[in-house]
Structure 1
């Protein structure tokens, strides 16, 4: 059987690269699924051999048959065979038993289909999740460089879409960095703790009694997974925790992607990507495509997290539908979160910060964003300070020219009060503190 031309990606080679998921598409493809399922079956047989339940020679025969099937099996054909039983394990076990020069009892030892599918899904999540963590850390490293470089670069902070007070670009980049670092740490921790699944038909390990607990532990060790405390067929915390952590990571990506998309707009002009995208109709366009596609991928994640969380009510010892709903959903979560992180990494790695535009926009109100400082100084001379300053600001009169203010404060003093570089608070200190936190985690200097 020859592989189909479209089995290299979960959604195909047309869109995966656009949303940063080219490598993840391969890591989560149909063929990757088949490989993971076969890896689990081989681990089951080798565990049985380790516990003296099958011969070592039979375990090697099963491993050889699995290797051949991994190369030859057509995912489309396996899919067609899977429809009758509702999952791919049933026909795959039949094929493995046909191919292996070993007795039937040496294949799928004591397991149920959910054991194999859950453990294969965990294997895929570990393998793909490593890529997601790598992309998150790459984006964080670029955010760290920006925070360090622009620690003292003044810009205007915006709240509720309006200019607020001065800050620095370094402080903004530090907020991106902290969220990305935390998301990468959390995801890595969750991936490390993902357990194997082994419980047999009804989760009692009856088929391998009295070796059930030892079998489950050895099976997990064979695959490099965490030993399960007990079968978790209908206690889905490992899956829901992973899905929720991916959701948080996608949010950590969406925040800087959104900021970049807005700051790169023509009116702001504060940042630009190293390789902006063009338009099929408008030659003048310079679109922040990496940030845009990162945002697009991340926006699809919360709905998928909701699907996982709403499928936690697995009834009794095997769910009818809720379990099945997890397979593609979790893979899409990995692909989209990782793709978003990948595209954000591309955006941040070559981000150009236009300090002249930052300065221009900071001065857009003529110092009105620091009106509270003028009000405080004026209040020492008149009880109407707030009303006087508000009237000048609303009228658009420069505060250092407003008669009601200059009657009490010298223009030079007013201009000093309106200097944004004198009202940055702890912006630079915040950047330093986040960078130190980053350094402790990575051991690298930006």
Structure 2
């Protein structure tokens, strides 16, 4: 291991994920080399460079030929890694190709294009994992369409719902994330020293189009050295994906608490001190990613405020930030797919929680049934008083209401018992789950991923 190797010791959410490999130093270096090779090929295609030069640069553009650590150290002199890389690539390509290496470009053209290439190579794996997650959640939602459970608001029992609706809601967020990521347009960057393409003479606009085609990225309307929409859009979509998966994780963390036990991860994690534990590790890692991503996205959105035609600091702040956000989204998506595919659901525990308050969870339903007899306000007050008596005397809500002389003759004991059954008050939850499951993921953008 060399100094500076990033093996993810403190980042288990992305350790071993496809996103880790596609965003590693070697992968980023290869993306920069691919951008340089694409630039020479594009110039050769327009007759601005010999085909032999393009071939020589392409042959030299292999990351394993270069020392990443040495490039990083030498990057300090000019503030970015492209400057020392050009020197090394020029030497590798040979004297005949040397005049055509990086010709007319600026360092930001290469780094921006490389980062877009990195994103384009990372996102397909993220999308696949989001699709896996959505498919697993769809199966859970369909299977538990009618499985009643307690809905909770502000941490307390609210009214009954179904686990199918909850799972359908998780899936809806996952599909929202998938749609945002699949709709991203990732452009190449070519503008030259100040975004005017002046170094390319009359061929600037044509060369920018040819360069984009060679990279497989979208052709930008304008050089975007300080027009950072592509980075901001990518940041927002990645942070949204982490947050959407974070909602799934947050609910799993609550529902898998020992005292609830309504769900459990397929294979929980161990504890270093307590042998009995099966920790919800996947949900924990997703939650950690979701907590980090907003701050990273804020840095990237802040870089929209970039002065002049090329900025100092704003651009440089993006590099590591964008890489980490890609890694977090990739790792969280992988963990979410495994979590959803292995999630265990315990309907008997959900029913036990529903019965915990002995009818209080359906107080809304009983008040609605009484309203035609005594008015809505009076009905609410009567049920509230009965609820207080039920809690104080440890009796069911139906019993407390049946003993209330103010309600004599309004609702029979049998009717009160029926109304107090929480499984009969899930409303449109099953139909809403069905409706949500009719939604399919949007197809990925037709832009070919390089």
TM-score bucket (shorter structure): over 0.9
Corresponding residue to 1:394 among 385, 388, 392: 388
Map of 2:128 onto structure 1: 134
Flag the 1:209–1:264 CA change in 2: closer, same or farther, 3 A: same
Corresponding residue to 1:143 among 137, 142, 162: 137
Q: How does 1:39-118 map to 2 (within 5 A)?
A: 39-67=34-62, 70-101=63-94, 102-118=96-112
Map of 1:158 onto structure 2: 152
The yes-or-no answer on 1:429 pairing with 2:431 is: yes
Map of 1:419 onto structure 2: 421
Question: Taking structure 1 as the reference length, what is the TM-score of the superposition?
Answer: 0.93
The yes-or-no answer on 1:38 pairing with 2:33 is: yes
Distance apart, 1:21 and its partner CA: 5.5
The yes-or-no answer on 1:368 pairing with 2:363 is: no
In structure 2, C-alpha distance between the alignment counterparts of 1:66 and 1:279, rounded to whole Å: 46
Q: Deviations over 1:41-60 (max 9, x none)?
A: 00011011001111111110
In structure 1, C-alpha distance between the alignment counterparts of 2:173 and 2:235, rounded to whole Å: 17
- Is the CA contact (8 Å cut-off) linking 2:235 and 2:322 kept in structure 1? yes
Map of 2:204 onto structure 1: 212
In structure 2, C-alpha distance between the alignment counterparts of 1:406 and 1:419, rounded to whole Å: 20
Distance apart, 1:172 and its partner CA: 0.2
In structure 2, C-alpha distance between the alignment counterparts of 1:344 and 1:370, rounded to whole Å: 33
Gaps of 5+ in 2: 445-450
Q: Deviations over 1:213-237 (max 9, x none)?
A: 0000000000111011111111000
Map of 1:268 onto structure 2: 260
Q: Deviations over 1:48-80 (max 9, x none)?
A: 10011111111101111123xx11212111111
Flag the 1:375–1:121 CA change in 2: closer, same or farther, 3 A: same
In structure 2, C-alpha distance between the alignment counterparts of 1:399 and 1:32, rounded to whole Å: 64
Q: How does 1:240-259 map to 2 (within 5 A)?
A: 240-259=232-251
- Is the CA contact (8 Å cut-off) linking 2:178 and 2:441 kept in structure 1? no
Q: Deviations over 1:333-371 (max 9, x none)?
A: 110122112112111111000010010001111111111
Question: Taking structure 2 as the reference length, what is the TM-score of the superposition?
Answer: 0.92
RMSD: 1.8
In structure 2, C-alpha distance between the alignment counterparts of 1:105 and 1:17, rounded to whole Å: 45
Distance apart, 1:418 and its partner CA: 1.7
Map of 2:448 onto structure 1: none
In structure 1, C-alpha distance between the alignment counterparts of 2:352 and 2:262, rounded to whole Å: 9
Q: Deviations over 1:295-346 (max 9, x none)?
A: 1111100000111111211111110100000011001111012211211211
Bigger mean CA deviation after superposition, 54-63 or 134-143: 134-143
- Is the CA contact (8 Å cut-off) linking 1:4 and 1:75 kept in structure 2? no
Gaps of 5+ in 1: none
